Structure 1
Amino acid sequence: MVSPLLNAPATSIKLELLRLLARQDVLGPIPVFISMGIIAAFVAGKLSPWYWGAWLAWVALVLVGRSLLLARLPEMDYLSEKLRLRIAVMLSALNGVSHGISLLFFPLLTDMQQAVVSMILMGISSISVVTAAGYMPISIAYIAPTLMPMALLWAFNPNVEGWIGVSIAVMTLFFCPVMVVLAGSSFKMFQESFEIRKRQVALNLQLQEALDQAEAASRAKTRFLASASHDLRQPIHALSLFCGALAKRPLDDASREIAKHMDISLQALASQLDSLLDISKLDAGVVQVNDQVFNLRLLAERLQEEFMPAARSKGLSVWLDCPVDAHVKTDEVLLERIARNLLSNAIKYTEIGKVELALEIEAGNAILTIADTGRGIPEAEQVRVFEEFYQLDNPERDRSKGLGLGLAIVRRLVDLLTVQFDMESTAGGGTVISLTMPVVEPVSCRKSEQAAATLSWEHLCALVVDDEVEVGLGMKALLESMHCRVLLADGTEAALAAINRVRPDIILVDFRLRGTDNGITTVREARKVLPGIPAILISGDTAPDRLREAEEAGIELLHKPVLAGELEQAIAHACGLTEHENRVVAKREHK
């Protein structure tokens, strides 16, 4: 078995040659020994077995010993490479001498047998040049004790006519320099090959280093975005809660208008932060695909209706060309997110003309096309526009144009859904993007429609666990504006103490608490006391590792900033409350 070290990159030509000899001499002794056995068979009936048997045993010993030692030489770091090569040369000479001894049997052989012996020795000489990559000392060390004596024997062979023996001797002597020349050429090629591989290894190391640096930069970027996102979401989340609480109070018209604009600004900011969250979720692999059969035409009609006001505000129109039904099987929510991002970009970057949304069936596939007459994308930029935070023609970072994450999200979602994505665009000539997916047979399904809840639970008690005082107070203000009783805690220990005093109906807990404490631990410990109590994690953390951790915990997760309506709906769902049910929660136990 060849040592794994033989496959590691060599640092010098000498070490590479030693490794080559070690690899190629593993199976070589077997055919050589068979060839020597044929020579022994020629003299078996003419000499005592002690002579030819002892010679054959010596040949076997040399072959095996040489093979084992050559296999060890690359690992003998305590010897210099030059000395190890000298050992290899001596082993080749010893091998040549052991084979050359067979020429002592030459006078006893017939002309045919002599010719066979000559072919065997010349063949092994040729193989020695190949296996040594033409390294001259090793090649000469074998050729000298075999072919040179053989040429003399043919020149002075009394059993053949003089000119025939001399001719064979001359041919043998001519064969020797030819082999030397070939050996020199082979070794030169071996050297060039080694230099090429050496440069390739250096390039691979540089590429690996560059890749490691790029991956490190990507991880650093992810950590930075997650940290920045978390730090930004905390005060925005508190502001959102206070704004929600304010909107539920009786206000005069002017104050209500201010609160309305505050809410609109918060929603816009939350939308931009959610783009960062979407990227993190996709990179973390926690986005679940829910394939369902649905009518793509209905989705297109819904999108046209949704984006028509935005288009009209710019003097544009959204044309819809969907003459037929087209049922596909994919995740409707994620596909709609793709189409929404593309339509948003089309309207955003089109100043004059129209945006067209078309659906057609071709060769068993549904093709949803979004085309615009906007500024288009130069060919040189058509790859970069799918990078995070990259935007064309927005050097001033106009907030109305977003963060530059829309197409990055589209690319990841397209890969996730395995939807065929095609784009044609030219600078000044608009853009045409097509989403292609197989058509399937429609299925009958009934969807249950639930109206949005407007909740007021006078008997509901919520335990809010957050180590940020402002966030806790904001949550308390919002929930109390819904007439809900609120308990506050800043960690797992305080939450358990509160549970021992008053039994809550739901736990609203921040993911990241003080020190090593976290919301998952809080929920798990609380459920040991109150099995099955509803719980909602609220997090401003978008790091992929944290998202995967929350996904594996199986607890509903909301991301900061949480708007009032979103929190209300989540509590309603967790507690099983609906618009038509003002549920009276069981009387609390005071312990």
Structure 2
Amino acid sequence: MANTLSCIEPKYMVAFTVNQMNKSIHLEDGQIRKDRLQHLELAAVMGAGQGFLPIYAVFAISAVIIIHPAVSRAIAGLWVSFYLIYTVVRTIATSLYHEDANRERPLRVREWRRFVFFSAFTHGVILGSLAIIALPVLDPARQLVLTAFVLIITTGAVMYVSAVLPALLVLVSASLLPYTAFWYFRPSDSEMPVAAFLLAVWIISLLMSFMHHNAGSRLFCLVADNEILVKTLEEKNRQLEIADRERLQLLAVTSHDLRQPVHALGLILAHASEHDDVKSIGKHFEKMKDISNLISEMLLELMDLSMLDYEKNEKRIEEVSLTSILMQLKASQEPVAKRKGISLSIRSEQEIWVLADAGLLRRMLLNLISNAIKYTTIGSVEIECNLKDGHVFITVKDTGIGIPSERFEEIFDPFVRLDPKVEERDSVGLGLSIVRRAALMQGFKIQVSSTIGKGSVFELCVPLVMNPRSSHEIKMERFDFPPSREVLIAVVDDDFFAREALVMLLQNWGYSTVSAESLSSLKKALNITQKPMLIIADNHLSPVEFGSDAINAVRERFNDFLIPGIVVTGDANVMINGLSHVEIAHK
């Protein structure tokens, strides 16, 4: 049964932009901080309520002594019963809270905060009810005593309930306002000041509630921030441990995989040294060339992975000719496909330009195409470009062995090879891992579908440039010169063997060369030569001299700042800033 791209589960898709990712991370951190703050406020209130059972009992007995015998035993008993029931429920709920294993979860925190609110409201109503059932029948002295008693209880509540502000406000209001109303609506010269005093106390209690809550909130914010910081550090440490294990695994795997071609190279050299006939030596050189290409490919994958893992690496998103990249890849990969007896075709009806990092996009497509060729023995590999909704959907389709659906996610992990029986082990298993990381860095989508025994389809979604700038505005950094002794190329490298090998290769191709080992020797050589058409410079010429300095020196010597240059480096994270018409070539 054939799978289609539309049925790929979201977890197998790489699809988010860097800005969206950063925004979601900030929102998530803010929500975590808010949830943690609410939990700390709740914990402060519930922790303070653990030892209140005897205190509430004293309150109930004191209230009965004050209102007896003016209030009947039945009413006083009913009031005391309500108060004790509330006290028992509050105490049991406090114990249940501390036994709740999920009390720190946001949903449970909100439920417990609602309980605290209704508990405070109930407590305030019970205390305020005495203003209705007791004050009207008490003598003035006991009225003042009862009012002062409730006032003391309410003021004390500011200290332990202030962490949850809504609960504190409803407790203070439900407790004091009935007494304020009682004294206000029974006007006399002696009673009016009591109402005014209670109103002032109520207002002051509200202000104290806000002040105490704000002070507590600042403390809780510090605690929450410290906890988040500790968790962040723990997560970073965990990530570092994982990265360290991955690097150890990378070292072990690459050491093993590189040892094999190096060992084979040694055997071939030993065998070649025992034969002097041209035919035999020619065969050995072909094998050594293949092995050299294999080692180079392995090292290039490692450099690509290192570059993508480097956090400070800067991508260069610009208008890129997708058609040009695909044609270059076809030219380099078609001979490989022909050697296996399979066809490689590209279907693109028009010149297509996209927004991407040219180097990363080229590497992604190279990995996808080479993987398709690697795992295909009969049939074809097809690359197709379709335009839709402002994007280009680049499809790489093969007729290879196929991928089990349960391994769709695994294939993007480092060191994964689908079929250990495949003899052409021309990499260390990092190709698709590099594709995924490059897609994440540029905000591209990548999808996969496959049918076992029939082949696989990888689809890459890249933003389309609807109106690309004209060719004279976009300078393609392509240095193609037909071989000629009139074409002079300057080579600067402090390594004698690397410099001489490159000079011999260029001369063998038909170019003229001028070479130097340092900036000073280059300047001397330039005084007696014609203007070079290209400068190839090693990045590190000395502790204080770099390839960009050599390129600038040549351009200044001939007053031509459009002479193209290539900086050769083994550093995966080199960026050349401030120089136009310069490419980076990795060793």
In 2 relative to 1, CA 194–166 (structure 1 residues): closer, same or farther, beyond 3 Å? same
In structure 1, the residue corresponding to 2:402 is in which secondary structure?
Answer: coil
Superposition map of 1:187-586 within 5 A: 187-193=94-100, 210-218=238-246, 262-284=288-310, 285-286=312-313, 288-292=315-319, 294=321, 296=322, 307-318=333-344, 320-323=346-349, 327-332=353-358, 334-394=360-420, 398-443=423-468, 444-446=470-472, 451-452=480-481, 454=483, 464-466=493-495, 499=520, 503=524, 505=526, 511=540, 519-523=542-546, 538-542=568-572, 547-548=573-574, 558-560=585-587
Establish whether residue 165 from structure 1 lines up as the match of residue 190 from structure 2: no
1:470 positional shift: 5.9
Match of 1:140 in 2: 54
Mark the CA change 1:399 to 1:510 in structure 2 (over 3 Å): closer, same or farther: farther
User: Higher Cα Rg: structure 1 or 2?
Assistant: 1
SS in 1 for 2:449: strand
SS at match of 2:52: helix
Q: In the superposition, relative to structure 1, how do residues 293 and 208 fare at CA in structure 2: closer, same or farther (>3 Å)? A: closer
Q: In structure 1, the residue corresponding to 2:400 is in which secondary structure?
A: coil
Amino acid of the structure 1 residue aligned with 2:85: V
The 1:195/1:407 distance shift into structure 2, 3 A limit, reads closer
Tell me the amino acid that sits aligned with residue 369 of structure 2.
Answer: L
User: Which residue identity is paired with 1:138?
Assistant: F
Partner of 1:105: none
Cα gap change, 1:222/1:557 in structure 2, threshold over 3 Å: closer, same or farther?
A: farther
Task: Please state whether the residue corresponding to 2:384 is helix, strand or coil.
Answer: strand
Of 56, 65, 72, which aligns to 1:152? 65
Percent identity reads 23
CA distance in structure 2 between the partners assigned to 1:181 and 1:170 by the alignment? 16
What is the CA RMSD across the aligned residues, in angstroms? Answer: 5.3
1:267-291 deviation per Cα after TM superposition (whole angstroms, max 9, x unaligned): 3432221121111222225364242
Asked whether the 8 Å contact 1:346–1:371 carries over to 2, the reply is: yes
Distance in 2 separating the partners of 1:210 and 1:408: 21
Cα distance in 2 for partners of 1:302, 1:274 equals 18
Name the CA shift for 1:213/1:173 in 2 (closer, same or farther; >3 Å).
Answer: same
Instruction: Work out the CA distance in 2 between the residues paired with 1:484 and 1:521.
Output: 25
Amino acid at match of 2:343: S
* CA distance in 2 between partners of 1:380 and 1:292 (Å): 37
Shift in CA distance, 520/278, structure 1 to aligned 2, threshold 3 Å: farther
Number of residue-to-residue matches in the alignment:
391
Shift of 1:389: 1.9
Structure 1 counterpart of 2:524, one-letter code:
R
Say yes or no: does 1:174 pair with 2:81. yes
Q: Which amino acid aligns with 1:150?
A: A
**Aligned partner of 2:77: which letter?**
V
* Cα shift at 1:183: 2.9
Structure 1 Cα separation of the partners of residues 387 and 74 of structure 2: 83
What is the alpha-carbon distance in structure 2 between the residues aligned to residue 299 and residue 537 of structure 1? 21
- What is the TM-score when the length of structure 2 is the normalising length? 0.52
Conserved in 2, the CA contact under 8 Å of 1:314 and 1:351?
Answer: yes
Q: Give me the whole-angstrom Cα distance separating, in 1, the residues matched to 2:285 and 2:72.
A: 115
Q: How far apart are 1:262 and its partner, in Å?
A: 4.2
> What one-letter code is carried by the residue in structure 2 that aligns with 1:152?
I
| C-alpha separation in 2, matches of 1:383 and 1:290 | 27
How far apart are 1:407 and its partner, in Å? 0.9
Aligned residue identity for 1:214:
I
Offset at 1:211?
Answer: 3.3
1:321·1:357 contact (CA, 8 Å) conserved in 2? Answer: yes
Distance 1:536 1:453 in 2: 17
Residue identity matched to 2:313: V
Letter in 2 for 1:171: L
Q: 1:316 to 1:371 in 2, by over 3 A?
A: same
Structure 2 unmatched ranges of 5 or more:
1-32, 106-226, 264-276, 527-534, 558-562
